Amino acid sequence: MGRDSQVEEVTIQKKPPESEVSDVMGGSARWEVKIHDHGLVALLDVMPRFVPVGKTADFAIVQAARVSYGEGTKQVNEDRGLIRYLSRHRHTTPFEMVEFKFHHVMPIFVARQWIRHRTANVNEYSARYSVVKDRFYRPSMEGVRQQSKTNRQGGDELADVSTAEEFLRYLEETERAQYAGYEKALEGGVSRELARMGLPLSVYTEWYWKIDLHNLFHFLSLRMDPHAQQEIRDYANAMFALIQPIIPIAAEAFLDYNLHSIRLSRLEIEALRTGQPLVTDNKREQAEWEEKKKRLDIK
Ligand SMILES: Cc1cc2nc3c(=O)[nH]c(=O)nc-3n(C[C@H](O)[C@H](O)[C@H](O)COP(=O)(O)OP(=O)(O)OC[C@H]3O[C@@H](n4cnc5c(N)ncnc54)[C@H](O)[C@@H]3O)c2cc1C
């Protein structure tokens, strides 16, 4: 045997837990939320999975922060205060000590938006290897939105009933025809990797998705936001609901200092300070300032 293939012996010390521990998922292997007609978000695992009895996974954030702050932490010695301080000051690495593994089932047009977030580890269903299932996303009547007149990227008010009905009929007919064509191509011996080309964006895919809490909060801040498309927001909201009981203190800080906070530009601070209009000729920026003033209840 060559020298390189030898592994040196290492002594592993397996220490008992410092205190009684509890499972942050309460002994469950899967927490699941159904989304739309065929979609789902399932939480499969968490790091840390076991925490001292009476603690939540927030514990891992505090533990990491105390390593970096050492004695200095004594000034902020309460867990909630420390996590809120870290969150306010964007000291983010302690949040990376918590990780979540999810199983998601979602339409491909949602997955395309989702996959732009590069900081997760992803393993997706292979439509080269397996046959794509006959599952399509179709919005409910109340989910058919008109093209927004103010936002070129979005929909807002509901479409009228006959337009919505016609659109849903169109989806159903094309999906049925496209799936029949897909099956026929497979039966004729066309490879799965090519036959899938005729399937629509509404067909479902699935993946395992693992991410740390810092990057998950970044994802959620963008995808729970009203500017994100409603369909991906439904997934993001479900993910937040699943993680909230596991890291309740960090989740509260996320809502307070991130999702529900308002960022002010230098020009906006100036307008606020002087009571003068915003100095800009950019209509979009002006409209955004009006929105912020409304939220702040400023005339
Ligand atoms: C409402 C909305 C509309 C959008 N519209 C469009 C659109 O029209 N067209 C389009 O193409 N995209 C669009 N996007 C996608 C958007 O531009 C981002 O790609 C997506 O939100 C991922 O954001 P991110 O890069 O911050 O996230 P992540 O990939 O999760 O990265 C997290 C952070 O890590 C850092 N990071 C990661 N990778 C790199 C890198 N390679 N280099 C430097 N820093 C890195 C950055 O700080 C980044 O913010 C839209 C997103 C939203 C929310």
Q: Does residue 152 register a pLDDT over 90?
A: no
* Residue 148: closest CA among 202, 229, 221: 229
Q: Which amino acid is at 184?
A: K
Does residue 283 have its Cβ closer than 6 Å to ligand 1? Answer: no
What pLDDT was estimated at residue 18?
76
Q: Does residue 156 register a pLDDT over 80?
A: no
Does residue 21 have its Cβ closer than 6 Å to ligand 1? Answer: no
- Work out the percent of the chain whose per-residue pLDDT is above 70: 93
- In the reported structure, the alpha carbon of residue 204 is separated from the centroid of ligand 1 by a whole-number distance in angstroms of 23
Ligand 1 atom at minimal distance to the Cα of residue 219:
30
Q: Does residue 44 register a pLDDT over 60?
A: yes
What lies within 8 Å, CB to CB, of 198 at 6+ separation is 178, 181, 182, 185
Catalytic residue among 223, 263, 266, 284: 223
Q: Does residue 69 register a pLDDT over 80?
A: no
Ligand 1 atom at minimal distance to the Cα of residue 222:
53
Helix (H) or strand (E) holding 112: helix 108-114
pLDDT grade for 2, boundaries at 50, 70 and 90: low
- Please choose from 116, 210, 214 the residue to mutate so as to test ligand 1's pocket, defined by most ligand atoms within 8 A of CB: 116
- In the reported structure, the alpha carbon of residue 51 is separated from the centroid of ligand 1 by a whole-number distance in angstroms of 33
- In the reported structure, the alpha carbon of residue 110 is separated from the centroid of ligand 1 by a whole-number distance in angstroms of 15
| DSSP assignments along 4-22, one per residue | GG---------PPPSS-EE
Ligand 1 atom at minimal distance to the Cα of residue 119:
30
What pLDDT was estimated at residue 72?
52
Work out the average pLDDT over 213-220.
98
What pLDDT was estimated at residue 158?
81
SS (H, E, C) 64-82: HHHHHHHHHHHHHCCHHHH
> Can you tell me the distance from the alpha carbon of 177 to that of 69, in angstroms, rounded to the nearest whole number?
62
| DSSP assignments along 74-111, one per residue | GGG-SHHHHHHHHHHTT--GGGGG-EEEEEEEEEHHHH
Work out the average pLDDT over 74-98.
88
> Can you tell me the distance from the alpha carbon of 179 to that of 185, in angstroms, rounded to the nearest whole number?
10
Q: How far apart are the first and last CA of the chain?
A: 81
Do residues 105 and 40 touch, judged by C-beta distance below 8 A? Answer: yes
Residue spans of the domains in the chain: they are 21-137+204-261, 138-201, 267-296
**Which residues pair with residue 107 across a beta bridge?**
204
Does residue 233 have its Cβ closer than 6 Å to ligand 1? Answer: no
Do residues 97 and 49 touch, judged by C-beta distance below 8 A? Answer: no
Does residue 218 have its Cβ closer than 6 Å to ligand 1? Answer: yes
Q: CATH second-level architecture of 21-137+204-261?
A: 2-Layer Sandwich (3.30)
> Can you tell me the distance from the alpha carbon of 185 to that of 177, in angstroms, rounded to the nearest whole number?
12
What pLDDT was estimated at residue 4?
64
- Please choose from 119, 151, 219 the residue to mutate so as to test ligand 1's pocket, defined by most ligand atoms within 8 A of CB: 119
Q: How high does pLDDT run on average in the chain?
A: 92
pLDDT grade for 299, boundaries at 50, 70 and 90: confident
Does residue 230 have its Cβ closer than 6 Å to ligand 1? Answer: no
The sign of the dihedral angle between the CA atoms of 14, 20, 24, 26 is positive
pLDDT grade for 287, boundaries at 50, 70 and 90: very high
What pLDDT was estimated at residue 19?
81
> Can you tell me the distance from the alpha carbon of 36 to that of 140, in angstroms, rounded to the nearest whole number?
9
Does residue 169 have its Cβ closer than 6 Å to ligand 1? Answer: no
Work out the average pLDDT over 177-195.
97
Does residue 116 have its Cβ closer than 6 Å to ligand 1? Answer: yes
What pLDDT was estimated at residue 75?
47
Is residue 145 annotated as part of the catalytic site, yes or no? no
- In the reported structure, the alpha carbon of residue 203 is separated from the centroid of ligand 1 by a whole-number distance in angstroms of 24
